[in-house]
Structure 1
Amino acid sequence: MSDVTGGVEVDLATAVIEHRMGSGEADVRSASQVSDTVLLEAVPWRTFRFYQGQRHYSGKYWAATERDHVIYESRLELSSLLLADFDPAVTRVVAQPFRLSAVVNGRLRRHIPDFLWGSGVGLTVVDVVRAQRLAENPKIQMLCEWTREVLEALGWEYRVLSEQPPILLGNVRFLAGYRREQYVDQRSLDRIRCAMDGLGGLRLDDNRQENERSRAGNALMHLLWKQEIVVDLATPLRPSSVLEVRR
Structure 2
Amino acid sequence: MSKNTGIRKSRGDGYDRIEWLDAAGNKHAVRADNPLTAAEVIPGERTRRPGKYRGQSTYQGNYWCAGIEGHVFHESMAEFTGLMLIDHLYDIDQLFAQPMLLTFADGTFHYPDFLAIEADGTRHLVDVHLKSRTEEAHELAFKQTGEMCERLGWRFTVIDQLDDVVRWNLEALARYHHPRFTPSTRVEKQILRAATRTATFGELRAALRTDRPGEHMPALYNMLWNRHLQIDITKPLTDLTPLSI
Q: Counterpart of 1:169? A: 167
User: What TM-score, normalized to structure 2?
Assistant: 0.80
Letter in 1 for 2:23: G
* Larger mean Cα displacement after TM superposition, 198-207 or 51-60: 198-207
Q: Counterpart of 1:44? A: 46
Seen in structure 2, the aligned counterparts of structure 1 residues 207 and 230 have a Cα distance that, compared at 3 Å, is: farther
CA RMSD of superposed structures (Å): 2.6
Residues 198-243 of structure 1: CA distance to partner in whole angstroms, max 9, x if unpaired? 32225243144345443x2211211111111223333211234343
Write the distance in 2 (CA, Å) between the matches of 1:204 and 1:48.
Answer: 45
Write the distance in 2 (CA, Å) between the matches of 1:26 and 1:45.
Answer: 9
Q: Counterpart of 1:3? A: none
Seen in structure 2, the aligned counterparts of structure 1 residues 26 and 229 have a Cα distance that, compared at 3 Å, is: same
Show structure 1 runs of 5+ residues with no match: 1-10
Seen in structure 2, the aligned counterparts of structure 1 residues 219 and 100 have a Cα distance that, compared at 3 Å, is: same
Is the CA contact 1:204–1:240 (under 8 Å) kept in the aligned structure 2? no
User: What TM-score, normalized to structure 1?
Assistant: 0.79
Write the distance in 2 (CA, Å) between the matches of 1:17 and 1:114.
Answer: 14
Write the distance in 2 (CA, Å) between the matches of 1:146 and 1:242.
Answer: 39
Aligned residue pairs, count: 227
Show structure 2 runs of 5+ residues with no match: 1-11
Write the distance in 2 (CA, Å) between the matches of 1:125 and 1:109.
Answer: 18
Write the distance in 1 (CA, Å) between the matches of 2:146 and 2:241.
Answer: 39
Q: Counterpart of 1:23? A: 24
Q: The residue matched to 1:229 in structure 2 has which SS? A: coil
Task: Give the CA deviation at 1:117.
Answer: 2.1
The answer on 1:116 being equivalent to 2:118 is: no
Task: Give the CA deviation at 1:146.
Answer: 2.4
Q: The residue matched to 1:209 in structure 2 has which SS? A: coil
Q: Counterpart of 1:58? A: 60
Is the CA contact 2:20–2:28 (under 8 Å) kept in the aligned structure 1? yes
Q: Counterpart of 1:198? A: 194
User: Where does 1:9-20 land on structure 2 (aligned, <5 Å)?
Assistant: 14-20=15-21
Letter in 2 for 1:166: D
Q: The residue matched to 1:124 in structure 2 has which SS? A: strand
Is the CA contact 1:204–1:242 (under 8 Å) kept in the aligned structure 2? no
Larger relative strand fraction: 1
